[in-house]
Structure 1
Amino acid sequence: MGIRMRVRSLAVAVSLLSLCGVEGAGAAAAAPAGLGPCAERGRVAVFHEGGIPLVDWRENLEFDGRGTLWVAHVTQNRVEGYAPDGSLRASFAVSGPGGIRRGPDGMMYVNFGVNPLSPSGGIARFDPAAAHPEPETVVDGLSGVNGLAVDGRGNFYVSRELATGVLKFGPDGTPDTEWTKKADVFGTNGLQIVGDQLYASVITSTESPVVRIPLDDPARHSVVTRLSAHPLDVKLLDDLTEFEGDLVVATFGSGELIRVDPATGRSCVLVSGLRMPTSVRVPRGFGDHDGRRELYVVEASGRILKVTVG
């Protein structure tokens, strides 16, 4: 999201909401005594250098399965496409791009208006195979949006960091207000669908929880794990992805990638020492990059990183 919203508003929100936990989250796992390193650690290499931290903020990324990595460059109001060798393949204007995901139709979808300087927000789509992609609005009139997920039927799910309820829209952009009302989790950021479950990271709680929301019964949402042992350990959870049966969460505040077993909530630190990581994804159809051992990360520093596990 934009600099002012993330740096200023979240600092206030975390302070005010720390005693509230996760609104409507149901039965929850206990907070960890402290996270140790994973048995298999991640090795970090720079795929693309950044610029001035925060000014060169890259917010999200996704692979199209056709050889291009698409990146939401929020402070530059652009979506960028990178080839497997790291070269810039495409770049086009999108106002305040945020969460970006591939749909079941092969099109790419991106939230816009994430930067608070943008006049309005919504969801746009573009054809990753086009020589010169042109974004087309699917949903308009949103505010405070951030993360994005798209299910196998083409439904959209949108997170909001300073509001209650994950937004759901049908493939034609029609809002599903009843579903959203039941998915009454406050302060969601990253979204990831695994099977019939939507996993969400919560950024506005000092407990740093990851929440499971059943797609067919969102009122039964529950906490998978709480990743902060105490308020001084607040991590500011950002985006998350599925990796070899687990979840990997990027922590904006503590600069880590944390691996979580969604069945048990057991967690460990895969990578530390990152510079405000905002999103993490597994490479798909991206040259010879191996989705079983690699992860890609973008940061508010502007860097794009490759993480090799094991």
Structure 2
Amino acid sequence: MLGKRIRVLCVAVALVAGAGAAAVPAHGAPGCGGWQVDTLVQGLEELENLEPDGRGGFYLTGSSKVYHVDPAGQVRTVLEGMNVPRGLQLAGSSLYVIAGGLWQLDTATDRLTSVSTFGGNGLLRLPDGDLLTTWVGTEGGPSQGVTRYRHDTGTIVPNWSPVPRSEGLALSPDHRAVYTDDLFTGQIIRIPLDTPDRWTVVATVPGLFPGVDDLTMSQAGTLYVAAHMAGEIHRVDPNTGATCVIASGLASGWTGPSSVRIAPDGNTWALYTTLFDGTLRRLRPPADVDLTPVRIPVKLPPHLDR
């Protein structure tokens, strides 16, 4: 819990420094409206991350639990007593959870297995089966940058990409890069997979302290970013750096949005977000927005895909 306490302190300091930031117009980030927001689930723990289950439901991480929400909105606690669960990734029947280390839950049998002691915040599975995790800068100790877990050998590569701070992770449509975000500066960062030390800043979410917490990407190449402290969801064009707000007025400050993912909504797609106020919300796009998600093929070796 130490890392979480440090993070709370750091964010609290930032809140004091940026008091009223959520009420300040985001200069350079006009609204791009037409999105409809509704609440699917409420009354849960502070929700940190979400992962579609491939069947119309979701897995969610709370402050000490992992939940499953079925398509009807029924909530079941899958794991409890976890050490601050954060990032989630699903591969087949294997749900990977960052919680004081990397864990694998067999969703068919509910069997929980420790995979590695490496920790972090965001979690992303690459097409080759490797896993990436992020280091925000509030965990204590030296920077781990973006860490890579090599699935074939179990090797941990700290600072695989020496990004000074990062939160969420998203794969590009061509599978040649990943994007991450900086909680403190609002910067959106591109990391080439073949040259991860040559990361670049492609955009900055405006505002005094938006507190960008997570991001996801569509196959069309558009990023969607959760601005936790501002209570907003931003659309970002990584090619031009242009940003706009697709949803505002969500819970702001400490209770704001923490994660975003694209998932099915009937026969189409919607954007879903978790918030620290314990809600799961759906953002339905205008008709002209293509929200088809980036596909990541399942490729895991036998010793991981138990």
TM interval, shorter chain, is 0.7 to 0.9
Report the number of matched residues: 264
Is 1:217 equivalent to 2:203 in the alignment? no
Q: Name the SS for the 2:155 alignment partner.
A: coil
Give the conservation status (yes or no) of the 8 Å contact 1:41–1:271. no
How far did residue 99 of structure 1 move? Answer: 0.6
Give the conservation status (yes or no) of the 8 Å contact 1:50–1:304. no
Which residue is equivalent to 2:5? 4
Which residue is equivalent to 1:71? 60
Counterparts of 2:13 and 2:104 in 1: how far apart (Å)? 33
Which residue is equivalent to 1:26? none
Counterparts of 2:201 and 2:43 in 1: how far apart (Å)? 35
Counterparts of 2:110 and 2:224 in 1: how far apart (Å)? 30
Per-residue CA deviation, residues 38-77 of structure 1 (Å, 9 max, x unaligned), is 1x432110100135xxxx2010000121343100112xx2
TM, length-normalised to structure 2: 0.79
Counterparts of 2:59 and 2:46 in 1: how far apart (Å)? 14
5+ residue gaps, structure 1: 17-31, 113-120
Aligned-pair identity (%)? 31
Counterparts of 1:37 and 1:14 in 2: how far apart (Å)? 23
Counterparts of 1:33 and 1:299 in 2: how far apart (Å)? 24
- CA 1:164 to 1:34, structure 2 compared with 1: closer, same or farther past 3 Å? farther
1:290 corresponds, among 254, 268, 274, to: 268
Counterparts of 2:102 and 2:4 in 1: how far apart (Å)? 20
Per-residue CA deviation, residues 232-291 of structure 1 (Å, 9 max, x unaligned), is x1111101111343110001110100001122221110101112100011114x7x2632
Per-residue CA deviation, residues 3-50 of structure 1 (Å, 9 max, x unaligned), is 52332123457999xxxxxxxxxxxxxxx9521011x43211010013
Counterparts of 2:15 and 2:250 in 1: how far apart (Å)? 21
Which residue is equivalent to 1:258? 234
Which residue is equivalent to 1:58? 47
Give the conservation status (yes or no) of the 8 Å contact 2:215–2:223. yes
2:96 corresponds, among 89, 92, 109, to: 109
Which residue is equivalent to 1:29? none
Is 1:168 equivalent to 2:148 in the alignment? yes
1:299 corresponds, among 259, 271, 275, to: 275
1:247 corresponds, among 197, 202, 223, to: 223
Give the conservation status (yes or no) of the 8 Å contact 2:134–2:144. no
User: What letter is aligned with 1:225?
Assistant: A
Which residue is equivalent to 2:85? 97
- CA 1:290 to 1:4, structure 2 compared with 1: closer, same or farther past 3 Å? farther
Counterparts of 1:304 and 1:124 in 2: how far apart (Å)? 23
Which residue is equivalent to 2:29? 35
Which residue is equivalent to 2:134? 159
- CA 1:173 to 1:110, structure 2 compared with 1: closer, same or farther past 3 Å? farther
Which stretch of structure 1 is more off in the superposition, 261-270 or 3-12? 3-12
2:115 corresponds, among 127, 138, 141, to: 138
5+ residue gaps, structure 2: 18-25, 138-142, 287-306
Q: Name the SS for the 2:11 alignment partner.
A: helix
User: What letter is aligned with 1:124?
Assistant: W
Counterparts of 1:170 and 1:13 in 2: how far apart (Å)? 35
Q: Name the SS for the 2:268 alignment partner.
A: coil
